[in-house]
Structure 1
């Protein structure tokens, strides 16, 4: 037994050491725990609100009807939508490390003070949630700026998948632990536990992760050379002017926006409404609700990792082009989600619904090997800004979807919940068609000029044409002479 333990310890030490030496995977691992905290902080209210609004003989709950709860659940996104593009711009200019880190830490601090705000009034609670959204809005654009500097093109999908999978593990842990913490220690403790976890992570992030490979004191010469050579002309410059006009008129950019919007509608509908849906239709108790609602996200964490690995392999072995891989992953995931969501609300049995919801959420992990990383394909220099733009549109469902559900599900009845998920499925089908037609994995022409503004590029092009014309005229003059 002692020998077995020694082997396990030595093997674990070996793998930890190997990850530590491969610095891009250290970044991915720390990003995993960062997104773990981000989604735990985002999911905590969807579980806690069930306890917050439940009245017992000992503790009276908040008298919030379904409409008020809809506004409370969506208030986070009022702030979240504001800082997406500014966050992308700041990350492109100053690097993503601190933008990503500070956004997570500040959200954690605001989560800690949330119980105090809720006890004063739900108006103050909404204000705190809006502030949380403001800080968390910079997180995804910030992380895309990190990947733009750290992720070699043939490893983008898997590195990003490692980081993003932390989101779903965080949601699972939050949904499973929150009911038990709430039951034993009170619903306030849920906010304290996960808020403190985010602050502790931030301290580790600042210590362990460098903002670029060149500034990492632990990176080997071979890894630094590999990252730089693989990026080639796509290496990021902090002095960058974004071609806003070309971005706004780019069809591949709009394909990413549409894909992000529809996936966000499904994700936020499930994230904010799944515990209540399972309580209303399947009559699960609070503890069971958290466990059952967490299972789909555990599956999604696994499928996200699988999707990243498979996507990179398909591209590296030239089985499919980057464009084809992004379309297959995105469209397959979106259509699959729509199908299983409809099945879930019409089966309405504990086992059948749980399986369908688990498959619907789980298959969604493939979008991170699709549109989720597509920004880095078409314009790596501007990836953080593109993520900010697409996430701005994707925040709209976070605001609208809970309110729509709150107005539809008033009784509640099975037919009302079916209406909620039919709307979600229709949005997904339309977006899958659009992304399948217009998405691209190719570097866009307007993204090649990484160090010039769009007007500068047009001016230089005009000057070049003028110089060529002058040379032709000089040749003709010599001939005539």
Structure 2
């Protein structure tokens, strides 16, 4: 069933007027957006903090450093995904059956406690203690995106889904670009890198409290939503009358359009996490920047990515609403922007000398910035394919793609091993960037060839279609 068919099924509900001004739904969008900021801040703080953590010890400093961990750096960076891979499908199921509010509250609270404990565990248990906490943190944060997908399917109308979905997920980009300079600045102070972990752990606990007080699973459950806003949302979202529909596992895993999303998500994770985890090291060892300059320059591409997302997402919604292109053509156009331009940009860095710092930094900005197109592409395609099971679908693709998140930083060590290059050699990074470009290209082609924007028949268990648009 295509989106156009769905939109035509409920024309009698089109008479429900859109409420004026800001509503409860906007509070939910803001909570999800800010949640993504703090969650990705917690993820990113170690990626910059590790540079300070493994520096040679200075006796004048009041905090410890661990230069003996230098060979374990990429293992530590990958450990987050060791936990992240396991609980996302379960999270999607829990969100579908019971609502994500309380699971999300508990998961982010535990994740924040892990961040607060990292300095203590590093001192007491060494790098193994940090790895254990990061794995637990990753497992807890696996709840986020399946929960957000489920929430968006309830709170975001189809006609505004690209805009608000992109806004919410842009929080991860803003979280990255804020965490990098904040961590760099704090690490350069007398209090050092441990304070950066205390800062982000505290911010995350505060967000957890705000979400617990103001967050809601769906419009029907919110105590302060107006009747007008509730009716308008219910008239424009796809919702089933079956409270806990059975999950059609076989249909999901044999769905070709869903296979396209899995492949695309895997390519995105390889490219995105290679850059996110390794740009600080590239800046330090090849570009020769200090940790303060390193952190600001590493953050710059992600700040521009956030701006780019704010530009692209309303354009995506506009061309769909005005019927200039179909929903799936829009998804494929913006996904292609998000994959092929970064692939070309990464390949071009191979041919530029490391002394040309301005040009390399400019191309890295282009690489990361245009990747914002994926937020209007495959990243919300789960909801297009199945509003009912969108959280479960995101859990599946996030779990599978987390394998590539683990492999991406470890690939640096693997390339070092077989090539003989060091992290100070640009030739090493030429290989790393070339591999990432290949993943972007293959994944982008897969989405073009077999991606779909139609609601799949298995979205409706027992062939009982109860839809509200």
TM-score over 0.5 for the pair: yes
Q: Partners of 1:309 and 1:238 in 2: how far apart?
A: 33
1:79-113 Cα distance to aligned partner (Å, 9 max, x none): 00001101111111111222333322221111000
Q: 1:345-387 CA deviation, whole Å, 9 max, x = no partner?
A: 4323221111111111111111011100001111000000000
Question: How many angstroms apart in 1 are the aligned matches of 2:211 and 2:431?
Answer: 43
Q: Which runs of 5+ in 1 are unaligned?
A: 1-17, 461-481
The equivalences for 1:333-412 within 5 A come to 333-347=338-352, 348=354, 349-409=356-416, 411-412=422-423
Q: Do the aligned residues in 1 keep the contact of 2:69 with 2:127 (CA within 8 Å)?
A: no
Matched, 1:100 2:101: no
Within 1, Cα distance between the matches of 2:216 and 2:75? 39
- Distance (Å, rounded) in 2 between the aligned partners of 1:99 and 1:49: 30
2:11 counterpart residue number:
none
**Partner residue in 2 for 1:32:** 33
Name the CA distance, whole Å, in 2 between partners of 1:237 and 1:359. Answer: 46
User: Where does 1:167-186 land on structure 2 (aligned, <5 Å)?
Assistant: 167-184=172-189, 185-186=191-192
Which residue in 2 is equivalent to 1:54?
55
Higher helix content, 1 or 2? 1
Q: 1:124 to 1:65 in 2, by over 3 A?
A: closer
Change in 2 beyond 3 A, CA 1:219/1:438: same
Q: Secondary structure at the match of 1:442?
A: coil
Q: How big is the shift at 1:441? A: 0.5
The answer on whether the counterparts of 1:236 and 1:380 sit within 8 Å (CA) in structure 2 is no
For 1:278 and 1:328, how far apart are their aligned partners in 2?
Answer: 32
CA distance in 2, matches of 1:239, 1:266: 36
1:156 and 1:312 in contact (8 A); partners too? yes
Aligned match of 2:433: 421
2-side partners of 1:385 and 1:173: how far apart? 30
Q: Distance in 2 between matches of 1:236 and 1:387?
A: 22
| Contact 2:336/2:373 (<8 A) preserved | no
CA-based RMSD of the aligned residues comes to 1.7
Contact 1:67 1:407 (C-alpha < 8 Å) held by counterparts: no
* 1:212 paired to 2:218: yes
Aligned with 1:68 (options 68, 72, 77):
72
Counterpart of 1:319 (choices 321, 324, 345) is 324
Q: CA deviation at 1:342?
A: 2.0
Q: TM-score, normalised by structure 1?
A: 0.87
The structure showing larger relative contact order (alpha-carbon pairs under 8 Å, at least 6 residues apart) is 2
* Aligned-pair CA distance for 1:236: 7.1
Uncovered stretches (5+) of structure 2, i.e. residues with no partner: 1-19, 465-469
Aligned length: 434
